[in-house]
Amino acid sequence: MKHLKLLAAGAVIATFGGIAAADATTLEQVTSRGQLVCGVNGPAGLTGFGVPDDQGNWTGLDVDMCRAVAAAVLGDATKVKFVPLGSKERFTALQSGEIDMLARNSTWTLSRDTDLGLDFVAVNYYDGQGFMVRKDLGVASAKELGGATVCVQTGTTTEKNLADYFRTNSLELKSVVFETADQARQAYDEGRCDAYTTDASGLAAERTQLKDPGNNVILPEIISKEPLGPAVRHGDNQWGDIVRWSFNAMIIGEEFGITQANVDENKSSDNPEIRRLLGVEDEMGKMLGISNEWAYNILKQVGNYGESFERNVGLKTPLGLARGLNELWSKGGLQYAAPVR
Amino acid sequence: MSNIEARTTSEFPPGQHPDMPPPVATSGVVGWVRQNLFPTPLNAIATLLALYALYLVLPPLLNWLIFDANWQEGTSRADCVREGACWTMIRARFGQLMYGFYPVDQRWRVDVAFILQFVAIAGVLIEGMPGKRWFALFLFLVYPFLAYLLFYGGFGLVEVDTSLWGGLMLTLILATTGIAASLPIGVVLALGRRSHMPVIRIATVAFIEFVRGVPLITVLFMASVIFPLFLPEGMSFDKLVRALVGISLFAAAYMAEVIRGGLQAIPRGQYEGAMSLGLGYWKMNAFVILPQALRISIPGIVNSFIGLFMDTNLVLIMGLIELLGMAQSATRDPDWLGQINTALAFVSLVYFSFCFSMSRYSQYLERKLHTGYRR
Amino acid sequence: MAASAERSVASAVPIWQNRTARSIFYQAVVLGLLVLLAYFFISNTAANLAKRGIASGFGFLNNVAGFDISFHLVDYDLQSTYGDALVIGILNTLLVSALGIVLATILGFIIGMARLSRNWLIAKLAAVYVDGIRNVPLLAQLIFWYFGVLSTLPGVKQSLSILDTFYLNQRGLFMPTPGFGPGFWPVAVMFGIGVAAAIVVSRWARRRQMATGQQFPSIRVGLALVFGLPILTGLVAGFGIDWSYPELKGFNFAGGTQIIPELIALTLGLSIYTAAFIAEIVRSGIMAVSHGQTEAALALGLRRKHVSRLVILPQALRVIVPPLTSQYLNLTKNSSLAVFIGYPELVAVFAGTTLNQTGQAVETIVITMAVYLAISLAISAFMNWYNRRVALVER
């Protein structure tokens, strides 16, 4: 029966689906496919993190994470198929093998690491949940929100944080829950709610999409820790290592000031760690099971973390986010990568 | 004329009375108005109220839709200076509303596919069309592969990933594929439901009643979050394919009931006649019963198609962006914020023109078939 | 004799052409395939869940849910469990379905009758309504009511108020809530007595009419008993009701009852959409009663209003009820579209939030489907019972 079904499905799968021997590792699947399948924020995307333009070309901080892995594994940052996923289906898509990795501003939590069978391998954005209100509401602090109606998206850690925060501060909560962030934002913008809550980075992104962005303020309180990062399936440690070190390479690149522009010159650097990173010395890539040029490809084609940050969410973008917690450790932030040795 | 009317009837000798026109109040426009709009005082009040309601609704609506609407080209809501609908947005977003993110230089493929489909269906449905059989063969045997090639690519055509499909194109693909796939499954289920074998009957009844008892949205949820877990590790399907499987199975249960209705309308004599000719179960059904039953079921099938066509917008829940989703997302673009009514008006007009014409066609068929089968 | 002849014929036929044998063989094959398919899915799912270490089982229903639900009929707070959330979801689904069914039926019957009106304008308007509404997707209509209409209502501080007791704004409709104090019980008791008396009167009137042919206005008297008695008592002894009025406090209205706009939009959308289908059913039901019935009833001297109530409608109902059932089922199932406009019903609360918080997709979807199936079966059982009752009128 199994074989019959497989045969019948074969023709369709050949183009529309992917089938691989059950024991093939994710790395083998990706290399034999010649393409990385990466889950990103969908269907409409999240500005700055993963969003398609009119032509369906994706950009964003999370998108760069996918591109970095593609560059490391396949040597070509464009060989990525982006699968836009809603908040509900994102983890199932990863669990079932529909996607190779998930880079969709997802919060790393204990229950997701365990119950959902995932492994979060890095934190590419340290975030926290905040509130946005209209200026004319005259509210300066989230503690004054007692009795307020709050619009929130379902299927996120946000919903629970919101309830927790109101509970611990003994405030009365009236939440209105929507299926997508778009609906929640639209309802807030139309006046259904007094406040809108999501991750602070999300608030900045969403504010650009309001009728009158200038009339809305983001309150100072950050009510939760939201370490956002790429996730892979539990149990495939090699693949987890590759994704983790692809991210680390971007951080280390920034530490050493290696950019897209000067990466070629850095190949002749005397610094042994840079030489190891760029594959001039030793065989770091081989240890990961990929090409020695892996980090060179990432930095050449995608750039370092700082470049990616400024390009997608930084001060010069509509989001206008400061580095804050996401500054390098050496500059007072939290971004810190283990050394390539 | 008037001088004849002026005279009284008594002036004419018996039998010489000329034909008089009917009283003004019972004929012509006035008579019609009196009979149809003001037959009783209560009706007169109702008519006046209705006229007043029309006066309240119609002029502002027409103004909004047409006279005060923005028809010019533009790039953002600032270009919509007039009070009415902002058709400017529809013009700016037309490509996306029709094709989603399908690459612009490849969109001709979509056009060709749909034109071919339209011609083939018209060829099958129009009466007295010469070579009808060839149209049908083309539609059911050749077209599916051709459409696949055109939409997805291959054989020299650039591959276009399904995540780029969207808009009206996706709506049409979902609806037509759903109905085409549900037809054969529905036939099998309908035959199964009328089978004398208890296992088969129970299994089909259970399936049909289960599917008809749950909302499409839960079936789509299942297709999006559970279906991937059903398959062995490493085997996965494209999201669009999963949506299509869910929609087809859902539609098949309803289709089965439509076809069962058609089967029940076939007189027993047809079965007996076929059996007396020595035809077995499959031959009897394939050559005698089903052709007749399907013919009677066409109006019902068209109605199912309309229902499915309108239900396809629920794939939004899986993150597939068809026409309604595309229109909604256009209004969330900061450039076009707050134009939700224009977007909905456009989507409604598109759906209405499709569904209304199809439902008129099915009513026409119903009338035509009804006369033939009335006993 | 005959039996043995049959047996001898049967034994002459080879086994693969024997009807019974073949039927058993086919059924065994189908059953085998189904079992294999089920095994295939279940074993895969189990293997997938186990391999990824995904939690399974129904134990999560007892865990604390810890999220807020904007609208609940029974108590629900942040310490409630996922099981409680499920109950809230079911109740909210039932509430909106019940409201929708009542409104859609009333509207549908009015429009259906209007389509048959002698008044050309009224009939045409009804036809336009039916064609217009039926050919536009329900989801588009819901979005229109929610984002297009209700969100354009004034904000909280500029609420439309009716007599300073009802307030309408973007957050919904706020109205006073009665609080029943101890002084209320005489009124309640009199209400009960009124209902009982009305039943007795209508039985007596019916018997008298059967025996003597004399009619008695039992409906009017009954209404007077049911509502008159408690109101009289209330006027004499006081109602003992403490009304809690909505008042603007801080950001929102406090006190009274809030009917959230999501519920209003969903009820409006569902009933207006379904009414178009019900209107068509009513129309064809009435048209199915032959005109001779009307003429015969009129010839017997029945008044026009009696003709429709006593002759046409009972016969039409027999045609109307079965398709009406499926419309009620459709409405209930369509209430799941609430997920797009933020009304917390079963799909939104359970197949949405709960699924996400727990990650137990299989369990939540299975429970959701089972609930819908149960609601569907209950509605069709009720309507079958009603249908039998209506059909029994035939003699």
- Please report the ipTM that was assigned to this predicted complex: 0.86
The helix (H) or strand (E) run that includes residue B262 is helix B239-264
More reliable by pLDDT, A248 or C308 = A248
Residue whose entry in the numeric block shows the structure tokens 């089903």? B290
Q: Is residue A10 in some structural domain?
A: no
In tens, the pLDDT along C249-281 reads 777 787 778 888 999 999 999 999 999 999 999
Chain B contact set for A20 (CB, 8 A): 234-235
What CA–CA distance (Å, rounded) separates B246 from B243? 5
Q: What residues of A are in contact with residue C55 (Cβ under 8 Å)?
A: 115
Mean pLDDT of chain B: 85
| Set of chain C residues whose Cβ sits within 8 Å of the Cβ of B340 | 143-144, 147-148
Q: Specify whether A234 is located in the same domain as A300.
A: yes
Helix (H) or strand (E) segment spanning residue B134: helix B132-137
Query: A110 and A205 in one domain?
Result: no
> What one-character DSSP code corresponds to residue B106?
G
The CATH number of the domain holding residue A139 is 3.40.190.10
The tens digit of pLDDT for each residue in A218-233 reads 998 899 999 999 999 8
Cβ–Cβ under 8 Å, residues C346 and C372: yes
Q: Which residue of B has its CA nearest to A16?
A: B238
The residue of C68, C71, C345, C363 whose CB has the most chain A CBs within 10 angstroms, and thus the best one to mutate to test that interface, is C68
Chain A residues with CB inside 8 Å of B238's CB?
16-17
In DSSP terms, C113 is beta-bridged to none
Q: From the CA of C44, how many Å to the nearest CA of chain B?
A: 5
Confidence label for A5 from pLDDT (cuts 50, 70 and 90): very low
Average pLDDT, chain A: 86
pLDDT at position B347 is 94
Residues A81 and A33 in one domain: yes
User: What six digits make up the tokens of A228?
Assistant: 């956002």
What does residue A237 show for φ and ψ, rounded to 5 degrees?
-65, -35
B183: left (phi over 0), alpha (psi -120 to 50) or beta: alpha
Domains of chain C, residue spans: 2-52, 82-176+245-392, 183-244
pLDDT of A4 reads 40
Indicate if A296 and A204 belong to the same structural domain.
no
Phi, psi of C118 (to 5 degrees): -70, -20
Asked if C27 and B199 come within 8 Å (Cβ–Cβ), the reply is yes
User: CA nearest C179: which of C231, C257, C237?
Assistant: C257
Whether C339 and chain B come into contact, CB under 8 Å, resolves to yes
Partner-chain residue, chosen from A98, A186, A189, that has the shortest CB–CB distance to B236: A98
Say which residue, C334 or C318, is predicted with more confidence: C334
| The pLDDT value given to residue B172 | 92
Q: State both tokens at A312.
A: 């997608």
Residue A94 resides in a domain:
yes
Query: Tokens 């200076």 correspond to what residue?
Result: B81
Domain C82-176+245-392, CATH:
1.10.3720.10
Residues from chain A contacting residue C359 (CB–CB below 8 Å): 91, 111-112, 115-116
Instruction: Say if the Cβ atoms of C119 and B310 lie within 8 Å.
Output: no
Dihedral sign for Cα atoms in the order C156, C157, C161, C164: positive
Q: Calculate Rg over the CA atoms of chain A.
A: 21
User: Average pLDDT in the C74-85 region?
Assistant: 86
What pLDDT is recorded for position C391? 67
- As a whole number, mean pLDDT of residues C78-88 equals 89
Rounded to a whole number of angstroms, the distance from the CA of B10 to the nearest CA of chain C is 37
Q: Do A219 and A239 belong together in one domain?
A: no
Please tell me the distance from the alpha carbon of residue A102 to that of residue A87, in angstroms, as a whole number.
11
Cα–Cα distance measured from residue C150 to residue A190, given in angstroms and rounded to the nearest whole number: 10
- Judged by CB atoms closer than 8 Å, whether chains meet at A81 and B163 is answered as yes
Q: Do B317 and A29 touch (CB under 8 A)?
A: no
The backbone region for A48, taken as left when phi is positive above 0, alpha when psi lies in -120 to 50, beta otherwise, is left
Nearest-angstrom CA–CA distance, C17 and A318: 77
CA distance A140 to A217: 9
For residue A147, list chain C residues with Cβ-Cβ distance below 8 A.
Answer: 249-252, 254
Residue A170 lies in a domain: yes
Residues A119 and A47 both lie in one domain: yes
CB A129 within 8 A of CB A218: no
* Nearest CA among A284, A303, A304, A306 for reference residue A294: A284
3-state secondary structure chain C: CHHHHHHHHHHHCCHHHCHHHHHHHHHHHHHHHHHHHHHHHHHHHHHHHHHHCCCCCCHHHHCECCCCCCCCCCCCCCCCEHHHHHHHHHHHHHHHHHHHHHHHHHHHHHHHHHHCCCCHHHHHHHHHHHHHHHCCCHHHHHHHHHHHHHHHCCCHHHCEEECCCEEEECCEEEECEEEECHHHHHHHHHHHHHHHHHHHHHHHHHHHHHHHCCCCCHHHHHHHHHHHHHHHHHHHHCCCEEEECCEEECCEEECCEEECHHHHHHHHHHHHHHHHHHHHHHHHHHHHCCHHHHHHHHHCCCCHHHHHHHHHHHHHHHHHHHHHHHHHHHHHHHHHHHHHCCCCCHHHHHHHHHHHHHCCHHHHHHHHHHHHHHHHHHHHHHHHHHHHHHHHCCC
Instruction: From residue C11, give the alpha-carbon distance in Å to each of A56, C15, C16, C180.
Output: 70, 8, 11, 81
C89 near C348, Cβ under 8 Å?
yes
Calpha distance C200→B121 (Å, rounded): 65
Give pLDDT tens digits for A8-65: 444 444 444 444 445 678 999 999 989 999 999 877 778 889 888 766 788 999 999 9
- Are the Cβ atoms of B229 and C137 closer than 8 angstroms? no
- Please tell me the least confidently modeled range out of A104-108, B274-278, C107-111, C289-293: C289-293
pLDDT tens column, B292-320:
888 888 888 888 889 999 999 899 888 88
Counting the structural domains of chain A, the total is 2
pLDDT higher for A338 or C51?
A338
Q: Shortest CA distance to C100 belongs to which of C232, C303, C263, C316?
A: C263
| Model pLDDT, residue A20 | 45
Establish if B138 touches chain A: CB-CB under 8 angstroms.
no
Q: Do B101 and A93 touch (CB under 8 A)?
A: no
Give the mean model confidence (pLDDT) for residues C49-57. 76
Q: How far apart are CA A117 and CA C55, in angstroms?
A: 8
Give the residue from A3, A16, A46, A211 with the most B CB atoms within 10 Å of its CB, the best one to mutate. Answer: A16
C39 vs B: CB within 8 A: no
Question: Is residue C324 within 8 Å of C278, Cβ to Cβ?
Answer: yes
Q: Which domain range does residue A26 map to?
A: 22-126+228-325
Query: Which residue from B minimizes the CA distance to C128?
Result: B356
Instruction: Mark yes or no for CB contact C53/A91 under 8 Å.
Output: no
A165 and A186 belong to one structural domain: yes
Q: What is the pLDDT of residues C185-232, one digit of tens each?
A: 778 888 888 889 889 988 888 888 888 877 778 788 888 888 888 788
Q: How far, in Å, CA of A126 to CA of A324, rounded?
A: 9
Do A259 and A288 belong to one domain?
A: yes
Please measure the distance between the N-terminal and C-terminal CA atoms of chain B and give it in whole angstroms: 52
- Residue C5: pLDDT over 70: no
Query: Is a pLDDT exceeding 80 seen at residue B24?
Result: no
A220 with A149, same domain?
yes
Average pLDDT rounded to a whole number, residues B11-35: 76
Determine the distance in angstroms separating the CA of A120 from the nearest CA of chain B, rounded to an integer.
20
Q: Cβ of C66 and A163 within 8 Å? A: yes
Please give the pLDDT value at position A13. 44
DSSP state for residue B156 in the 8-state scheme: T
By CB atoms closer than 10 A (0-12, 13-18, 19+), residue C81 is middle
Query: Does A133 share its domain with A219?
Result: yes
Same domain, A249 and A277: yes
Same domain, A181 and A314: no
Domain boundary among A201, A224, A247: A224
| pLDDT score at C126 | 94
Asked whether residue A77 is domain-assigned, the answer is: yes
CB atoms within 10 A of CB A1: 12
The whole-number average pLDDT for the span A290-308 is 94
Query: What number of C-beta contacts closer than 8 Å exist between B and C?
Result: 148
For residues C274 and B11, which has the higher predicted lDDT (pLDDT)? Answer: C274
Domains and CATH numbers, chain B: 24-59 (no CATH), 88-102+160-373 (1.10.3720.10)
**Spatial separation of the C-alpha atoms in residues C30 and A255, rounded to whole Å:** 65
Nearest to A293 by CA among A73, A65, A32, A67: A73
Q: Is the predicted pLDDT of residue A1 greater than 60, yes or no?
A: no
Question: Alpha-carbon distance A302 to A250, whole Å?
Answer: 9
Q: Which amino acid, one-letter code, is at B57? A: V
